[in-house]
Structures are given as structure tokens and as C-alpha cells.
Amino acid sequence: MSFSRTAGAAALFLALGSPALAQAPAQLVVDVYSFGFGPQPIHLAAGRPVTLVFANRSGSGHDFTAPGFFQHARILAGGPVGNEIELRPHETRTVTLIPAPGTYQAHCSHFLHKQMGMSDTIIVD
């Protein structure tokens, strides 16, 4: 490749940028434990890709159920089953998505877990 072609290709790359790098998703760890979630509340940027890392820190199974949130988000990878992320003891799962603006409720749907404090709010703005 001649110098002028190489220089032209480099200039074009710099002018346009790299779409893969520009769209790299942010990452947020959502801690799941007996009996709670963290952070509280969960803050996300609307329309920006994010990888949510659900980390079950406990020796018991839990889930992260958020019907409105998952229904309105555009799931890119690792989607929930239905509207929940089920986690075995000490399991970690990831979901990459583009969240829609709004305020959503989340909770653990296991018996009495919500009543014992396993609930959270997701704020997307």
C-alpha cells in the first residue's frame, strides 16, 4: 500500500472514529445478598449500553426480577429468562442492554425475600 493510501486510510479512521470503541458498554456490578441488593438505587444512563453484572454474594439462591425494566430495555446479550435473572449460590451472570428512560422496581421473587428487604429501584435518565 502506498504512503498516500496509508495516510488516507489513517485519516479516515481518525475522522470517523472506531464505532466498536465508541459503543463499548459501561459496566455496573449489582450485588445480590441475603436479603438485599446494592447499589440502592441503581442509576443508569438512558440509551447507553451497559453490562449489568449480577453477583450473588450469598450461599442461597436469589433472583433479580424487574418486569418493566427488562420489557422496555433492548437486550443485547445474556438476556433474562422472562423478566428475571435467576442466580444459584455464589453465581455471577451478566446482561448487556440499552435501558429505556424511567423508574422501575426490582425485587427477589423467592418466597418472602421481598418482604425481608430484597427490593430496589432502577432509575434510568
**pLDDT tens profile 8-56:** 444 434 444 444 445 678 999 999 999 899 999 999 999 999 999 999 9
b/e for 30-45, b at 16 or more Cβ within 10 A?
A: bebeebbbeeeebebe
**Rounded Cα–Cα distance for residues 43 and 50 (Å):** 11
CATH topology of domain 23-124: Immunoglobulin-like (2.60.40)
Which pLDDT score is estimated for 98? 97
pTM of the model: 0.79
Highest mean pLDDT among 13-27, 76-90, 92-106: 92-106
Q: Do the Cβ atoms of 32 and 62 come closer than 8 Å?
A: yes
